[in-house]
Structures are given as C-alpha cells and as structure tokens.
Amino acid sequence: MNSLQIWLAIIGGLVLAGVIGHGAWQTRRAAGRARPTSAPAGTASDTAPLPPPDASDSGPGTVPMALEPSFGPEPASTRPTVFDALPREPAAVREPEMHAIAPAPAVVPVTPIEQRLSEVPAALAHAPRRHSSPARIDALIDAIVPIGLDAPLSAEQVLAQVPPTRRAGSKPFLIEGRHAETGQWEPLAAPARYSALQAGVQQVNRGGAINEIEYSEFVQKIQACADALGGEALFPDMLEVVAQARALDHIAVNHDAQLAMRLQARRGSWPLSWVQQHAARHGFVDGPTPGRLVLPGRTEGAPPVLELCLDAQAALADDPGQVWVDQMSLIFDVPQTPRQDQPFNAWCAAGQALAISLDAEVTDDSGQRLHAESFAMIREDLDGLYDKLEEFGLPAGAPVTRRLFS
C-alpha cells in the first residue's frame, strides 16, 4: 500500500467520524426538545399524581408552558399522561362551546309529489260493486203497446218471434211478459211462461224525440211479432205519441248536463304512455273506443262515472311511448251517476290529482282557467239540477234516467 492510499483512508475515516458525530448531536438535541417536564424521581409526584386537566387550567391565572418552536409534530399534551389519576366513574360529556354564529337561512322543504297526491281525496271510494238490473219499460218515457195472448206461451216461443234488432230508427224498444204464475211483468227469460206481453218504445233520447217514421217502424215490427204469436196488439195514436215525446224532449234538453274539464300541459307535451300510467293510478281503465279512458261506476253494466278523452289518433299508435299529447278532457255526465255516489267530488278530485301529477293547468272548454270559486258555483248549480230531476221523477243514475239521457 503506497502513501496516497494511506492518506485517502485517513481522510475517509475522518469524514465518516464527523458524520456519525453530527448525527449523534442532532439526536440528543431532538430528544431534549421532546422530553416531558415531569417531576424528578423520588419526589412527591411518584405518590401523589397530578389531577386530570380541568377547564380552570386555561384560565387567566395559568401560565402556559413555554415550548421551543419547531417543525416537528406538536406534543399531544403539555402534561404527562398519568393513568392513576383517571376517575373511577365515567366523566360527564362536556358540551361543545357555542359561538355566536348567524343562523343559516331555513331550508323550505319541497313537498314530494307522492305526498301531495296523498292529500287529494280518492276519486271514487272502492265500495263493493252493485249488480245492475235489466232495463224495464217505464210509462214515463215509453209508449206502451199491450199484446193479448189466447193462451200462455213459453219464453222460448216468444223469443223466437221477437225482432232481432229491437230498435226503430234511433229509438230502442223493450218487450216484457206477464208471468203466468206470479202475474208480475218481467223481462223475457226461460223457462217462464207468459199470459200476456207488452212492448214499449222509448220516446226520447239525446238524439231527440221520436218522429212519425220511427214510430211507424216500431208498429210494423211489433205487429209482425204479435201476428206470429197469435196475439193482438193495441197501439197508441201516433199523433199523441209524437206530441208527448216532444214535450218530454223539451224537459230533457233543459235539464241535461255534461261537465268538461280541460287539462292543458304547462310545459311541452306528455308521452301518451305516461298519461295512461297516471290515469290508471287514479282508477281509469281503457274505454270501448280508442282515446277514451273511463272511471267505472259502482254498478256493473252502468255507464262510467268519468271519461278521460285523449287524441284518438294518438291512442291508435303502435308505441304509446313515442306519441305525445298536450291536452285532454275530463268529462262528467251528470244524469248517468247517482247523486249519493258523489260523482262531482270524483270529477274534482280526479282533475286535481291529474293536474298535480302531470303539471297541467285546469281550464274549461273555452280555455278559461278554473278556480276554487268556479267549482263552488258549479256545485251550486249542480245541486239545483239534481233537485229538478228528482221533481220530474228522473233522479240521476236511475235506470229510466239513464235511458232518457242516452
């Protein structure tokens, strides 16, 4: 080994010793900073531990411990951790300090659409459905023709000779038989036997009063049936029937009412499928014709309580989700539903529910917006109409009333 190598080894050793010494000095310096200020060994602190920190320690008379600033981690506490001084019982939870902060503005809760709909009364209570009775001849609206028989006939014999289409023009007619045993008039049904028959043609409907041509057609059909059964028919005078029909038509025209509520989209249009879903949610089902959804009545076979009319062309589309509508009409046919079923409430409730769920504006047929005062006035007029119909013996929802206003 030459002298150059020896000197390099000496210099390297000195550098290494300096690095080690500097590291040791840094370690002792850091340990001196982090050493807790505990009492010396053998003093009273060994037998009498310090009490736990109290709020009074931070009072004005307390001198905080001086710490040398450093970039190292801040000590967790200015006192040593003394486990013997912890209380035996759980300490009470200290309430956080309250600072005077300006209150944030109250957030107004947004009522969800489901809650708003739940506040709307049901369109029609789901009461047990009543069974409907068949239409019966009524002297109030029918021109009655008695048919005498030589001998009682079975229902099968009579039905074989009854005209297949029981209409004369736009006016329907009914045929009943007097039960041979009970003597009661009833619709023709096997296996009963009848001692007499009667036919009644409806004098008035919404198509107007019966005219001479329609009455003549009725006479021809009933006369042919009576001849085939060997009976004798006694027809009322045509002029008297027509005159009576016109008088009844005058009453019907002045006491008929159909209420319509238009629902207009506020923003854009609605998908047809969406409208159908919301309508079904409120009890509407598909009607007999495209574009009409109906709310069924409580009586089986009775006319619907409400009709929801949409665009018929849109209803015929193959994909309702691709067709849009911007308005629809909710119709309430007053004479068709009994007053005690509260159809007016159903009309108002269904319109309100659909307006909320579809975000629609409620107007009349002319586009005038309907308010609460408007419905109150309609209700007052409706009560008067109900009373008038009852005075004429035509209460709303009665079978004879439904036939007259059909």
pLDDT at 339 over 90: yes
**Confidence check: pLDDT of 60 > 60:** no
Q: What percent of the chain is modeled with pLDDT above 70?
A: 70
pLDDT score at 334: 97
Pick the CATH number of 142-252 from 3.30.1400, 1.10.3470, 2.40.40, 3.30.2310: 3.30.1400
pLDDT at 395 over 70: yes
**23 vs 33 pLDDT, higher one:** 23
pLDDT over 90 (residue 404): yes
The pLDDT of residue 13 is 73
8 Å CB contact between 349 and 122 = yes
Residue 53: cis peptide before it, omega within 30 degrees of 0: no
CA 2 – CA 5 distance, rounded (Å):
6
Question: Average pLDDT, stretch 233-238?
Answer: 97
Per the DSSP assignment, residues forming a β-bridge with 194 are 153, 179
Arithmetic mean of pLDDT, 381-395: 96
Mean local confidence (pLDDT), 148-152:
95
Q: pLDDT band at 6, cuts 50/70/90?
A: confident
Q: Say if residues 198 and 138 touch (Cβ distance below 8 Å).
A: no
CA-to-CA distance for 223 and 199, rounded, in angstroms?
A: 10
pLDDT of 86 above 50? no
pLDDT at 113: 43
Sequence-separated contacts (24+) of 133-137 with Cβ below 8 Å: 133/399, 134/187, 135/174, 135/399, 135/403, 136/174, 136/176, 136/185, 136/187, 136/399, 137/174, 137/176, 137/185, 137/198, 137/199, 137/200
Q: What gap in Å lies between CA 141 and CA 248, rounded to an integer? A: 8
Q: How confident is the model at residue 31 (pLDDT cuts 50, 70, 90)?
A: low
Mean of pLDDT values over 104-109 = 42
Q: What is the mean pLDDT of residues 183-201?
A: 96
Give CA–CA dist 144/240, Å, rounded.
Answer: 12
Supply the pLDDT for residue 12: 73
Coil, strand or helix at 142: strand
Report whether pLDDT(367) > 50: yes
Q: How confident is the model at residue 158 (pLDDT cuts 50, 70, 90)?
A: very high
Report the pLDDT value the prediction gives residue 9, as an integer from 0 to 100: 72
Question: What's the pLDDT at 322?
Answer: 84
Architecture of domain 255-404: 2-Layer Sandwich (3.30)
Q: Alpha-carbon distance 230 to 31, whole Å?
A: 132
Measure CA of the first residue to CA of the last residue in the chain; give whole Å. 131
Average pLDDT of 299-321? Answer: 87
pLDDT score of 254 more than 70: yes
Q: 226: Cβ–Cβ under 8 A, 6 or more apart, which residues?
A: 147, 197, 232, 233
CB 225, CB 195: distance < 8 Å: no
Q: Which residues on adjacent β-strands are paired with residue 145?
A: 199
What's the number of CA atoms in the CB half-sphere (13 Å) around residue 137?
Answer: 22
* pLDDT on residue 79: 42
* Bigger pLDDT: 103 vs 269: 269
Q: For the chain, give every domain's residue range.
A: 142-252, 255-404
10 Å CB burial of residue 47 (0-12, 13-18, 19+) is exposed
pLDDT band of 70, cuts 50, 70, 90? very low
Lowest mean pLDDT among 50-54, 149-153, 180-184: 50-54
Contact 367, 331 (CB under 8 A): no
Mean pLDDT of 304-319: 89
Q: Which of 124-128, 157-161, 244-248 is predicted least confidently?
A: 124-128
DSSP secondary structure string for all residues of 59-123: STTPPPPP----SSPPPS-SS---GGGS-SSPPPPPPPPP---PPPPPPPPPPPHHHHHHTSPPS
